[in-house]
Structure 1
Amino acid sequence: MGLINKLFGTSTSSATNKEEKVLPWIPLNELPQLDFIENKSTTKTQVVFKHSTRCGISRMVMKQFVDTYNFTEKDLDLYYLDLLNYRDVSNEVGYKFQIMHESPQLIIIKNGVVVAHASHGAINDLDLNQFI
């Protein structure tokens, strides 16, 4: 019975536990939040993950990001931007912080400016520790 459970996913293996990991996402869905992020970045690192919900690559990169994320809410604020549903917010992120739009994209903001950003597989190469 153990083999069948493993094959059909009824086991509580560590892989299943990783899939259930929940990050302290803050939904980014309103333009005024960008001013708040800019101001808050003077005292705490702000991170924005721009995600395309229809893109397999974006989904894969996000899963890898979630699996390796090991920070708390004390370390930084982590925003999730569904760029398909909130395209106006996504566009304004580029204008406000002077970066080109990419998807998926991770943007790190400190002291009101972008100190690092990456897209696609390079997102998981960023060492967030150096920005805390």
Structure 2
Amino acid sequence: MSENKTKMSFFNKMFGTNEEGSSSPKVNWNQLDDLKVIDEAIALSYEKPVILFKHSSRCSISRFALKQFENDYNFSSEQLEPFFLDLINHRNISNEIAERFQVEHQSPQLIVVKEGVAIFSSTHSDIEAEILNKFV
């Protein structure tokens, strides 16, 4: 992983706790804040499935989808590796993801990568943590 990798729950970052009031996040996000992190995610996808969550902080639908996803997420770091993209600040990374994985840009968007290939994508209200059970 890159030196500048930051793990956190977006909900925790914004409000200090998760829905249950606990200070421990349910999702330990790897931040997609540099193009080289895409290469790291691809490399990890040969060991376990990787998820990429593309979020727009300017969109209430995206905020709702993220909050719901984080509340329902129940996977260990051995099962899945989660990556978070703030696409308002890193649109270039979103564009690179779309190009590399041949997945049309959407926001919010959840992409599952396994063995270097996007094997699943969902957007908006179709984003559900439960669907990830199919890939672990």
Normalising by structure 1, we get a TM-score of: 0.83
3-state SS in 1 of match to 2:103: coil
Is 1:26 the equivalent of 2:18?
no
Q: Structure 1 56/126 Cα, relative in aligned 2: closer, same or farther at 3 Å?
A: same
2:48–2:79 Cα contact (<8 Å) kept: yes
2:51–2:82 Cα contact (<8 Å) kept: yes
1:16 & 1:125 partners in 2: Cα distance?
15
- Give the counterpart of 2:133 among 123, 126, 129: 129
Higher helix share: 1
Match of 1:36 in 2: 40
1:94 & 1:36 partners in 2: Cα distance?
16
Match of 1:17 in 2: 20
Match of 1:96 in 2: 100
Q: Structure 1 89/44 Cα, relative in aligned 2: closer, same or farther at 3 Å?
A: same
Q: Write out aligned runs for 1:63-74 (5 A).
A: 63-74=67-78
Identity percentage over the alignment? Answer: 39
Q: Structure 1 17/43 Cα, relative in aligned 2: closer, same or farther at 3 Å?
A: same
Number of residue pairs aligned between Structure 1 and Structure 2:
118
2:117 & 2:23 partners in 1: Cα distance?
33
Deviation track 1:61-111 (CA, whole Å, cap 9, x = no partner) reads: 111101110001111110010000011111100001111000000000001
Deviation track 1:4-36 (CA, whole Å, cap 9, x = no partner) reads: xxxxxxxxxxx9516856111110111111122
Unaligned runs of 5+ in 1: 1-14
3-state SS in 1 of match to 2:125: helix
Is 1:60 the equivalent of 2:64?
yes
Normalising by structure 2, we get a TM-score of: 0.81
Q: Structure 1 106/85 Cα, relative in aligned 2: closer, same or farther at 3 Å?
A: same
Task: Return structure 1 stretches of 4+ with deviation > 6 angstroms.
Answer: none
1:21–1:67 Cα contact (<8 Å) kept: no
Q: Which residue identity does 1:48 align to in structure 2?
A: L
CA RMSD of aligned residues (A): 1.8
Q: Structure 1 127/18 Cα, relative in aligned 2: closer, same or farther at 3 Å?
A: farther
